[in-house]
Structure 1
Amino acid sequence: MPTALITGASAGLGAEFARQLARRRADLILVARSEDALNSLAADLRSEFGVAVEVLVADLADDEGVTKVADRLRDAGDPIDLLVNNAGFGLPLQFADNDIDDEVRHLRVHVEASMRLMHAALQTMRGRGGRIINVASVAGFISRSTYSACKSWLIGFSRWANAEYSRDGVSVTALCPGFTHTTFHERMGLAVGQEGVPDLMWLNARDVVRVGLRDAALGRSVSIPSLRYKAIVALTGILPSALTSGVARRGRV
C-alpha cells in the first residue's frame, strides 16, 4: 500500500485529504498540533477503511516539530510515497498591525517548514518515485500581504521542483484553491458570513482535494480546482495590482 504523510491533518483540507486517501486504501501519517483531534480522526479512518494510520504530533512553527516530521520522511526503511504540505494559518490582512512574532511564525509554517519537509521527502523519493502536494492558494497570484507572498513562493518553488525532479520520478504540485468551506476562517475569529465573500465564490473541500489528487497524479505543477478561479487567475496577469489587492482585502482565501 502507498503511504501518505499529511500536515495540518486534524481539520479542514488536511482531514479531507486523509479521508480521500484512506478511501483509496493508502496508509496514513497524520501530523498536527492537536493530539486529541488526530487520534479521533485516526480511529475513524482505521474503523471505516481498515488502513494503517500513524499519529505524529508536531508544531511546525518549532524546529523540534519540523525535525520530528523530517526524520520520519527520511526513513528509507518505511518510505513515504506522498507528502501533503497542508499546515498553515491566517493572520489579519494589515501587516503593520500584526505582532511581528506572529508574522515570523506564519512565514516559518508556510514557507520554511514546507521547504524543509520537501527536502527531507526528496531524499527517499528520488529514483524511487513519489508525489508532493503543496497546498497554496489563488492568493499567491494576488498582491496581498504576507499570506499572498508565502503562497506565491510555494507556487513558484513547486513549478521549479516539478520540472527539476520529474526526471527522478517525483512530481510536485501546488494546489491553489480559492475560498473553501473549512475551519480556516473560524480559527481567524471570523464567523460564517463575516468574510464578505459571495456564495458563488466558495468551494467544497471534497472537490478541492479530489482535483488536487488528480492533477498531482497527472504530474501538473499547478492545480486550480475551479473554472471560475482559473479565470480569476488569468485576469490577475493583466489587471493592475492595486485593483486586485483592493478586491482581495474583502476576504481571506
Structure 2
Amino acid sequence: MPRALITGASSGIGAEFARQLAPQGYDLVLTARSQAALEHLASELRQSQGIEVEVIPLDLTQADAPSQLYQQTSDRNLQIDLLINNAGFGDYGEFAQGDRHKLLGMVQLNITALTDLTYQFLQPMRSRQSGTILNIGSIGGFQPIPYLALYAASKAFVLSFSEALWAENKDLGVKVMAICPGPTATGFNDVAGFSENETANTSPGLASVESVVSESLKVMKRDSGSAVVGGWANHLITSIPRLLPRDTLAQVVGEQFRPKPPSQD
C-alpha cells in the first residue's frame, strides 16, 4: 500500500487529508504538536479503514524537527510515497506591531520546515523515480497582502518553490505541486488573530475542508506545478494581479484587510 506523510495532521485540512486518503488505500504517518489529537485520529482510521497509521508528535517550528521526522520514518522503514506539507499559520495585523517570536516561528514553519522536509524526502523519491509532494499554499501567495504581509510572502515562496521543483523533477517520475486554497473553514482565523468583524470583511465565503481536500486529491493528478482550489472565485482572485500595477494592487488589498476600529455600542 502507498503511504502518505501529513504535517499539521491534528485538525483542519491536514486531518481531512488523512480521512480522505485512508479509504483510498493509503497507510499514513501523521505529525503535529498535539499527540492526543493525532492518536484519536489514528485510532479512528485504524478501526474504520483497517490501515496502518503511525503517529510522530513534533513541533515543526523547532529547527531540528524536520530531521527528526525524516530520521524516525527511516528508522521505522516507512517509505513515503506522498508528502503533504500542510502545517502552517498566519498572523494578522501590522508587521511592525507583531510578536517577533510568533513571526519568526511562522517563517520556520511555513518556509524553513517545508523546505527541509521537501529536500529530505525528495531524495529517496528521485532514487525510486516515483513520489508526490503536495505543498499547501494559498491564494494569498499570488499578491502582497498588507496586514498579512509575512503570511502572504511565505505562501508566495511556497508557490514559486513548488512550481520550480515541478519543472526540475517532472521527468524523473516525481511530482511537486503547490495546492492553493482560498478562505477555508479551519481554525486559521483564530490563530491569525482576526476579530469576528474582520473575519466577515476579509473572508466573505468559507469553503469546507472536505471540498478543498477532495478537489486537491483530484487536481494532484494533473501535470502541473500548482493548482487553485476552493471555487471559481479563487481563480478570479488569482487572476487579478495580472491586471493591476503592483503598487495599486497592494493598496487595494490593503484597504480590504486594514484592521477595523472596535465597534461602538
Q: Which amino acid aligns with 1:69?
A: L
Q: Residues 10-62 of structure 1: CA distance to partner in whole angstroms, max 9, x if unpaired?
A: 00000000000012120000000000000001111111111110000100110
Cross-structure match for 1:222: 226
Cross-structure match for 2:139: 138
Matched, 1:160 2:164: yes
Contact 1:195 1:250 in 2 (8 A): no
- TM-score w.r.t. the length of structure 1 is 0.92
Q: Which amino acid aligns with 2:236?
A: A
Counterpart Cα distance in 2 of 1:81 and 1:88: 21
Give the alignment of 1:65-84 within 5 angstroms. Answer: 65-72=65-72, 77-84=77-84
Greater Rg, structure 1 or structure 2?
2
Aligned-partner SS, 1:6: strand
Cross-structure match for 1:118: 118
Report the CA distance shift for 1:249/1:25 in structure 2 as closer, same or farther (over 3 A): farther
Paired residues, what number?
251
Counterpart Cα distance in 2 of 1:15 and 1:25: 16
Aligned equivalent of 1:231, options 236, 251, 254:
236
Contact 2:202 2:257 in 1 (8 A): no
Report the CA distance shift for 1:250/1:12 in structure 2 as closer, same or farther (over 3 A): farther
Counterpart Cα distance in 1 of 2:162 and 2:28: 23
Q: Which deviates the most, 214-223 or 20-29? A: 214-223
Instruction: Tell me by how many angstroms 1:202 deviates.
Output: 1.6
Counterpart Cα distance in 2 of 1:159 and 1:199: 27
Counterpart Cα distance in 2 of 1:132 and 1:47: 27
Cross-structure match for 1:62: 62
Q: Which amino acid aligns with 1:90?
A: G
Cross-structure match for 1:205: 209
Aligned-partner SS, 1:171: strand
Instruction: Tell me by how many angstroms 1:156 deviates.
Output: 0.1
Q: Residues 206-243 of structure 1: CA distance to partner in whole angstroms, max 9, x if unpaired?
A: 11111111221223211111211101110122123221
Contact 2:63 2:108 in 1 (8 A): no
Aligned-partner SS, 2:216: helix
Counterpart Cα distance in 1 of 2:74 and 2:197: 43
Q: Which deviates the most, 130-139 or 188-197? A: 188-197
Contact 1:173 1:215 in 2 (8 A): no
Instruction: Tell me by how many angstroms 1:249 deviates.
Output: 4.2
Q: Which runs of 5+ in 2 are unaligned?
A: 261-265
Report the CA distance shift for 1:189/1:98 in structure 2 as closer, same or farther (over 3 A): closer
Counterpart Cα distance in 2 of 1:200 and 1:97: 26
Q: Which deviates the most, 91-100 or 67-76? A: 67-76
- TM-score w.r.t. the length of structure 2 is 0.88
Aligned-partner SS, 2:64: helix
- RMSD over aligned CA atoms reads 2.0
